[in-house]
Amino acid sequence: MLEITEGSLAVADAVGKCRPQVIAAYPITPQTHIVEALADMVANCTIDAEYITVESEFSALSACLGASAAGSRVYSATTSQGLALMFEVCFNCAGMRLPVVMTIANRALGAPLSIWNDQQDSISLRDSGWLQFYAEDNQEATDLHYLAYRVSEDHNILLPSFVCFDGFILSHTYEPVDILTQEEADRYLPRFTPFQRLDAEDPISFGLFAAPDYYMEFRYEIDQAAKKALSVFPKAGREFAELFGRDYSGLVESYRMEDADCALVAMGSLCGTVKDAIDELRDAGNKVGLLKIRTFRPFPADEVKKALSGVSRVAVLDKNISLGSKGAVALEVRDALYGSQIPVHDYIIGLGGRDVRKKDIARVVSLAGEGKGDLYYGLREEVLK
Amino acid sequence: MALGTGCTARPGNSRNNKTGSWRVFRPAFINERCTSCGMCRIVCPEGCIGENEEGLPVPDYDYCKGCGLCAEECPSEAIEMKKEEK
């Protein structure tokens, strides 16, 4: 049923319908509305979950780790500095192969302190073993939670997932969202069947010490599991589409890419603006298309290569910067296109909540046409002196 | 592999993972000086010193990491740490 609702509330509703047994979270802007809404549901007994209030994000994810190891479906949500505080536990969740699902309401990292949106927080955990899915709008943000549990809990994967949606731009925006009923959600997402769990009757230890003769093999296994998500995610997407009509089976999604000369590459809510800009550019005779990256981890290099094979140039919009190097998405796209002659231009854009408007997209397209790339878009002139 | 998916292991796993290979110094027990006080057995962090019928210490070199606590604490100086020869 279509409801006009806030992004955070739509996400909280979906999470509740995923029937998490344990929720542990610490409020932080702009994630707060999600965990407030879930706390309400627990207090009002509309969902049957244990809500653990904690004193920090480190504890929040630690509680989730323990609860997941004990065999519960668990949930948390955070952003920015909160995610930074979870850094160590993130690596442990992945290494212990625990299918935790966490929403990231993407926000810039300090310093300077900023509560506004970019994607630096989740991008900075790209090497942690967590799968990362990026939502364009609140419908996708909501639905991706059902997919995330399906993919994470698959016994061939057993890795935690971030569902990333842009803070404020999506989390605090009211738009129509098709809300699943509990029966529909149950039809798609079965009860959690742990691969193994902590059990006093049948003891097992998680996350043990691996000496140099075994450590590398564990890293290899995590990497292999993450790469298996390249086939498990599309399958989960197809099954979702069969039930509800919305298709997330693509690891990437093309918009007006047929005969495109210049391809823009973006992740998250930026894609909506880019699509509108492309419509106007197309009307003006510019052959421009968008390649939207839905799964950043695992990175769908083959799909990216295939989708971009016919274009003359690529312009990547990065809402992050790997300081001292390039934008993280551009690095991946360049790697995917290695050996081809297609130039990949990188544009660092919209950091710390700076608006990206349709005219900015049009400007990026013309910069790419002039061969001017690998720059911070729209910088104040005083810093360039 | 020695550990399962998620770096897991069942209890008693240390029986399979012999840690004696970590040793750089090996405690040598000099029975002539030993008074069978049992201090070395008490302080051994690995619990890998047993005793024979005569009450003399019997180390299990499969698990002794060579920490040297037994030699440090022995009141009779009956344990000497010697460079491990491999």
User: How many Cβ atoms from other residues are within 10 Å of residue A71's Cβ?
Assistant: 16
Establish if B18 belongs to a structural domain.
no
Chain B touched by A218 (CB under 8 Å): yes
A206 with B8: Cβ contact below 8 A: yes
Chain B touched by A217 (CB under 8 Å): yes
Q: Which of A96, A195, A203 sits opposite B7 (nearest CB)?
A: A96
CATH architecture of A2-244: 3-Layer(aba) Sandwich (3.40)
Averaged confidence pLDDT in chain A: 97
**Chain B (21-60) residues lying within 8 Å, Cβ to Cβ, of chain A:** none
Residue B66's domain spans which residues? 28-83
| pLDDT per residue as tens digits for the range A44-59 | 999 999 999 999 999 9
Chain A touched by B1 (CB under 8 Å): yes
| pLDDT per residue as tens digits for the range A354-374 | 999 999 999 999 999 999 999
Establish if B14 belongs to a structural domain.
no
Establish if B6 belongs to a structural domain.
no
Domain total for chain B?
1
- In the predicted model, what is the mean pLDDT of residues A322-345? 97
| pLDDT per residue as tens digits for the range A101-131 | 999 999 999 999 999 999 999 999 999 999 9
3-state secondary structure chain A: CEEEEEHHHHHHHHHHHCCCCEEEECCCCCCHHHHHHHHHHHHCCCCCCEEEECCCHHHHHHHHHHHHHCCCCEEEEECHHHHHHCHHHHHHHHHCCCCCEEEEEECCCCCCCCCCCCCHHHHCCCCCCCEEEECCCHHHHHHHHHHHHHHHHCCCCCCCEEEEEECCCCCCCEEEEECCCHHHHHHHCCCCCCCCCCCCCCCCECCCCCCCCCHHHHHHHHHHHHHHHHHHHHHHHHHHHHHHCCCCCCCEEEECCCCCCEEEEECCCHHHHHHHHHHHHHHCCCCEEEEEECEEECCCHHHHHHHHCCCCEEEEEECCCCCCCCCHHHHHHHHHCCCCCCCEEEEECCHHHCCCCHHHHHHHHHHHHCCCCCEECCCCHHHHC
Q: How confident is the model at residue A216 (pLDDT cuts 50, 70, 90)?
A: very high
Establish if B23 belongs to a structural domain.
no
Query: Which pLDDT does position A223 carry in this prediction?
Result: 98
Chain B touched by A97 (CB under 8 Å): yes
In chain A, pLDDT over 70 holds for what percent of residues?
100
Give CATH for domain A252-384. Answer: 3.40.50.920
Give chain B positions within 8 Å (CB) of A218: 3, 7
pTM: 0.92
Query: Which pLDDT does position B12 carry in this prediction?
Result: 84
Residue B50 belongs to domain with CATH number? 3.30.70.20
Establish if B43 belongs to a structural domain.
yes
Establish if B45 belongs to a structural domain.
yes
Give chain A positions within 8 Å (CB) of B7: 95-96, 206-208, 210, 218
Q: Which of B5, B9, B13 sits opposite A97 (nearest CB)?
A: B5
Q: Is the pLDDT of residue A301 over 70?
A: yes
Domain with CATH 3.40.50.970 in chain A: 2-244
Query: Which pLDDT does position B16 carry in this prediction?
Result: 80
Establish if B19 belongs to a structural domain.
no
A214 with B11: Cβ contact below 8 A: no
